[in-house]
Amino acid sequence: MDRASQRGANAYRTPGSASAELFARARRVLPGGNTRTTVFAPPYPPYAARGRGAVIVDAEGEARLDFVNNYTALIHGHADPDINAAVTRQLADGVAFAMPTEHEVALAELLTERVPGLEQVRFTNSGTEAVMMAIKAARAYTGRPRIAKFDGCYHGSYDFAEVSTRASGAAAEDGMPRAIPYTAGTPQAVLDAVLVLPFNDIEGTERLIERHRAELAAVLIDPMPRSLGLYPAAPAFLRRLREITRAFGILLIFDEVISLRADYGGMQAVLGVTPDLTAMGKIIGGGFPVGALGGSAEIMQVFDPTAGAPQVPHGGTFNANPITLVAGLTAMRKLTREEFARLDGLGRQLRAGVEEALREAGVPGQTTGHGSLFHIHLHPRPLADYRNSLLSEEERDQVDRVYQALLGRGVVITPTLFGCLSTPMGVPEVEAFIDAFSAALQDARR
């Protein structure tokens, strides 16, 4: 992509643009013109037309480097030729059957070889479903009704997992976070079934878990939560959490739907803590809808139908469908240790370049992330939990200006300045991002 394309003027914002007309059509048949909250940006988003490699082209024909990659799912970028070829071959043989196929066996074998916490795997169609089934498995295995999760952390759209997805605001009398609804109409019984814990607070977390240990089936945690700005769980905190849960017979569930792309064995390999169950998604589907959960064979037997009705029945018309599985298997085989190491080097270069651009511009800020994941924070506050990552109105306005300026300079990133790399990228794309970000800081000031 040439530099002229990178200096596009955001033509999608022009009245009468193709994106404007598509949004007007969408408003008539979709609530708010939208079917996926995360991709909406006021007054309306640019509409994608096509993608190739690291580049995405909008309905106006403007090309931009894509550092969103469908919220981290497309680790090989757009229209990867190897994935496309595998899917095309499978299309000729059928897209879904009321029978299992060899493809699910092969991808499960690959995942159990790579990820420390996996002995057996079960496939779903989304990360939300993977988390949901992990929670159900924990309840069945332990015979306990409640789960615990951390304040402000996002785990998909299952009622129990989304409690206190936004920070709980005023704390309870003991200073600890409260269970609050994320979705209007959430029953009180759902809130009562979830214990909310303070992220990276060993003392508070240990006190709450010990107090409710007899009721808790599982503790659900993302080891590097995107909703907290990709600030990872402190190793000492995570190790102590593993000790506490094991001591009380509580299952530890890792949500690695996003963070699995951080390393060959996921963040659990980086941090050296092995959970009882792991929820996965995104990259393991090669760009197609996917989810999976896995863990020890002892725990996963709650799904086993070979001895009669399983404790946790689990159907799903498109679970482990061969199109997704061949795409995922191809994608994961391409992700060798060497490729992860290359992406890690590019990620380090990008984060360092962004921080240098911030210093040169005199803008307080910092970056977080690991491997191919990064998040830019336009504030200098120490990051430890959700509350420290919350932005003031002025900071949100600054983030929006930088986001819009990056779009105008040929770079797609999320509106919160969270992003990721893909394997079609190299040093030129990282340098282009740093140059665009440096210029966007100046644009935002103007």
Contact 378/397 with Cβ under 8 angstroms?
no
Query: What is the distance of C-alpha 265 from the center of its chain?
Result: 16
| Gyration radius from the chain CA atoms | 22
Q: What is the DSSP string of 4-55?
A: HHHT---GGGSTT-HHHHHHHHHHHHSGGG-S-GGG--SS-PPPEEEEEBTE
Q: Catalytic: which of 151, 255, 263, 276?
A: 255
Question: Hey, how many other C-beta atoms are within 10 angstroms of the C-beta on 138?
Answer: 26
The DSSP secondary-structure symbol of 146 reads E
What the block records as the tokens of 85 is: 């070829």
Name the active-site residue from 282, 385, 386, 403: 282
Interacting residues of 51 by C-beta distance below 8 A, sequence separation 6+: 57, 66, 77, 78, 79
Please tell me the distance from the alpha carbon of residue 20 to that of residue 80, in angstroms, as a whole number. Answer: 29
User: Is 149 one of the catalytic residues?
Assistant: no
Sorted by sequence, the CB contacts under 8 Å of residue 386 that are 6+ apart come out as: 151, 152, 153, 167, 199, 227, 228
Element (H, E) at 322: helix 322-334
Kindly name the residue from 12, 47, 71, 154 that is annotated as catalytic.
154
Active site residues: 154, 255, 282
